[in-house]
């Protein structure tokens, strides 16, 4: 997980939550995902049409019950990434000035329940990136760029987050449930950054006017938590889903929470939630911290 590179020999990329430019971020993200989203929801609609009404028929405690969820999560990103260069230089970048779009995402969940016991898995793939010309929103060696120096910055981040848990149902009532859970989560990320400096960089501790670096890391953690749902109204069609976990292992601490609203159909349900995931790692790790938060929308099919 660690390559032994000291912090002094790294380019440190600081990724900030892009709240000042949030609307630009979402605008670019939604533009890039518009075609894909149309296709994805067309697939969901087709699956819903093909799903028999009997798929939500009442089962018994001795029968396996399954659910599959197709969803899209559109998170903003924050964190610190350390890029080894071997030259003793630190370059700090405010990434909300560079990362302006979620280029691709693929996500899904699968759950199986038999009586009070169950298992579940959740897989997330993200590809984010962007570029900016003539930027001065970075520092080299802790100092601002000279007045006559600008940079062209290109950055991308891709990654997988895979969570697998076992569950035990503590409370089960019509429309309501509460489960405790334990399992593991894998965090696998890679990032690359390209910088081209224009102007007189003689006073900067750089190996040249062009800097290209990339890193990757895989981290495993054990987690514990809970999940459930609370029914609303007399017909219990509307409900509030919720989930929380916390863990540690190769990271110092990881945790996530989500909550939102859903509507129950005979074939399954549609849900909209807000999801937040956080990682804190050692200062010696490639990815020293990472946060992702934003809305998620999905369809759950039960059979």
CATH number of the domain encompassing residue 171: 2.40.128
Range of the domain at 138: 7-302
67 membership: H or E segment, kind and range: strand 64-73
> 65 near 32, Cβ under 8 Å?
no
Across the range 1-25, mean pLDDT stands at 43
Cα–Cα distance measured from residue 127 to residue 136, given in angstroms and rounded to the nearest whole number: 25
> 266 near 196, Cβ under 8 Å?
no
Q: Is 99 helix (H, G, I), strand (E, B) or coil?
A: coil
248 DSSP 8-state letter: E
Where do runs of H (alpha helix) occur along the chain? 22-50
Does some domain include residue 104? yes
Cα–Cα distance measured from residue 40 to residue 234, given in angstroms and rounded to the nearest whole number: 33
Task: Please give the tally of structural domains in the chain.
Answer: 1
Does some domain include residue 1? no
Cα–Cα distance measured from residue 251 to residue 277, given in angstroms and rounded to the nearest whole number: 13
Q: Is the pLDDT of residue 40 over 60?
A: no
pLDDT digits (tens, 9 = 90+) for 129-182: 877 787 776 767 666 778 888 888 788 888 999 999 999 999 999 889 999 999
**Could you tell me how far CA 12 lies from the centroid of its own chain?**
21
Does some domain include residue 79? yes
Question: What is the signed CA dihedral for 295, 21, 127, 154, rounded to 10 degrees?
Answer: -170
pLDDT at 91: 53
pLDDT band at 238 (very low <50, low <70, confident <90, very high): very high
Does some domain include residue 247? yes
Q: Max CA-CA distance within the chain?
A: 75
Does some domain include residue 229? yes
Cα–Cα distance measured from residue 234 to residue 237, given in angstroms and rounded to the nearest whole number: 8
> 125 near 49, Cβ under 8 Å?
no
Residue with tokens 């490639």: 286
Does some domain include residue 172? yes
Two tokens, residue 16: 């900030």
Q: What angle do CA 111, 221, 180 make, to 5 degrees?
A: 45
Cα–Cα distance measured from residue 138 to residue 125, given in angstroms and rounded to the nearest whole number: 28
pLDDT at 22: 45
> 200 near 208, Cβ under 8 Å?
no
CA distances from 286 to 84, 140, 195, 237 (A): 9, 19, 19, 46
Question: Minimum mean pLDDT among 48-52, 122-126, 214-218: which range?
Answer: 48-52
Two tokens, residue 206: 């750089």
pLDDT at 130: 78
- In 3D space, the residue among 30, 70, 65 whose CA is nearest the CA of residue 46 turns out to be 70
Cα–Cα distance measured from residue 244 to residue 290, given in angstroms and rounded to the nearest whole number: 17
pLDDT band at 51 (very low <50, low <70, confident <90, very high): very low
Does some domain include residue 2? no
């Amino acid at each position: 997980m660690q390559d032994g590179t000291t912090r002094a020999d790294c380019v440190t990329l600081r990724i900030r939550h892009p709240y000042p430019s949030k609307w630009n971020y979402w605008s670019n993200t939604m533009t890039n995902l518009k075609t894909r989203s149309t296709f994805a929801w067309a697939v969901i609609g087709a699956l819903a049409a093909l799903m028999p009404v009997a798929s939500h028929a009442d089962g018994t405690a001795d029968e396996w019950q399954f659910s599959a969820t197709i969803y899209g999560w559109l998170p903003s990103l924050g964190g610190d990434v350390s890029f080894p260069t071997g030259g003793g230089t630190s370059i700090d970048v405010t990434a909300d000035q560079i990362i302006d779009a979620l280029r691709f995402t693929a996500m899904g969940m699968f759950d199986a329940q038999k009586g009070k016991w169950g298992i579940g898995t959740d897989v997330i793939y993200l590809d984010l990136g962007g570029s900016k010309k003539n930027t001065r929103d970075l520092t080299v060696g802790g100092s601002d760029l000279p007045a006559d120096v600008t940079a062209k910055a290109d950055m991308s981040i891709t990654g997988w987050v895979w969570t697998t848990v076992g569950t035990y149902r503590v409370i089960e009532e019509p429309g309501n449930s509460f489960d405790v859970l334990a399992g593991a989560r894998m965090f696998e990320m890679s990032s690359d950054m390209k910088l081209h400096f224009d102007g007189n960089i003689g006073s900067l501790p750089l190996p040249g006017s062009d800097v290209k670096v990339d890193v990757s890391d895989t981290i495993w953690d054990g987690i514990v938590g809970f999940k459930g749902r609370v029914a609303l109204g007399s017909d219990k069609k509307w409900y509030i889903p919720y989930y929380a976990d916390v863990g540690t292992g190769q990271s110092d601490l990881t945790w996530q929470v989500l909550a939102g609203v859903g509507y129950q159909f005979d074939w399954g349900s549609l849900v909209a939630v807000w999801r937040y995931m956080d990682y804190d790692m050692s200062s010696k790790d490639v990815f020293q911290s990472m946060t992702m938060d934003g809305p998620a929308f999905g369809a759950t099919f039960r059979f």
